[in-house]
Copies of this chain bind each other. A is one copy, B any other.
Amino acid sequence: MSDSPAQHTIKSYDQDLRRLRDMIVQMGGLVENGVARATEAVLLRDPEAAMTVVEQDPRVDELEREAEQFVIKLIALRQPLADDLRHIFSALKVTDDLERVGDYAANIAKRSMALNQTTMSSTNSGIANMARLVQEALRKVIDAFAEDDAEKAMEVWRDDEAIDNIYNAIFRELITYMMEDPRNITACAHLLFVAKNYERIGDHATNIAETVYYAVTGKAVGEARPKGDSTPYATLPSKAS
């Protein structure tokens, strides 16, 4: 039995939407891998892992452009209604967040190379913890997107507080290391940015969580979660003052 023309159109439209989702999940996998390799680069002082991340980042950007072009074609050809547009725009937002996560991974990888030139050899264990939590959030939120799972998305959203708390502790710890020994200063300055990059990846995972929630339920996440980086307000008594 063959489909009627109308059924055929709906079928290929669904196929288009599925293809868009697959593109984004693929991009998510690449970005996840980037963060994992960047973390190896920092924790194991592995310059080859760092190079891989930097070299792969243009591929992430390319996937984002492909998704955008696909969406433009999809809208022009299918003229979707408002409800479908919500899903399509959500998909675009997610690619944008993933692209930025890719940038942060590349930045962490680059910083790891600078760290290899410094005198401080032990890596802050806080950063290892933070990296683990951030990777977990990223993996989970990509799953939530792939599975249209609003509840799983909200878990990621709630877990971001723990990441922010670790970040704030690391900031203070690094400042203390710098004060204790000026030889640590260059390394710690880079580690400050490494930690900040993980914190930003956590924020983007939270953004994706909000987008998934909105796409699935049609409602915005009500409760406003305050931004977790409290270090802009952080001060420490200067030991030498």
Q: Which residue from B85, B86, B181, B238 sits with its C-beta under 8 Å from A119?
A: B238
Cα–Cα distance between A236 and B76 once the two chains are bound (Å): 53
Chain A, range 41-63, C-beta contacts under 8 Å to B = none
Cβ-based interface call for A73 (8 A): yes
**A residues 126-183 in Cβ contact with B at 8 Å:** 171, 174-175, 178-179, 181-183
Chain B residues positioned under 8 Å from A181 (CB to CB): 240
Interface residue count for A (Cβ, 8 Å)?
A: 46
B82→A76 contact, CB < 8 A: yes
The answer to whether A192 has its CB under 8 Å from any CB of chain B is yes
Give chain B residues whose Cβ lies under 8 Å from the Cβ of A234. 114, 186
One digit per residue, 1 when the CB lies within 8 angstroms of any chain B CB and 0 when it does not, for chain A 70-82 equals 0011011001111
**A79 / chain B contacts, CB cutoff of 8 Å:** 79
CB distance from A44 to the nearest CB of B (A): 18
Question: Is A185 among interface residues, defined by CB-CB distance under 8 A?
Answer: yes
Q: Is the interface of A mostly helix, strand, loop or mixed?
A: helix
- The segment out of A17-25, A28-36, A105-113 that lies at the interface is A105-113
A199-241 contacts to B (CB < 8 Å): 231-236, 238-241
Task: Assess the A238–B186 pair: CB atoms within 8 A.
Answer: yes
Complex-state Cα separation, A219 to B179, whole angstroms: 51
Q: Which residues of A line the B interface, CB within 8 A?
A: 68, 72-73, 75-76, 79-82, 85-86, 89, 96, 107, 110-111, 113-114, 117-119, 171, 174-175, 178-179, 181-183, 185-186, 189-190, 192-193, 196, 231-236, 238-241
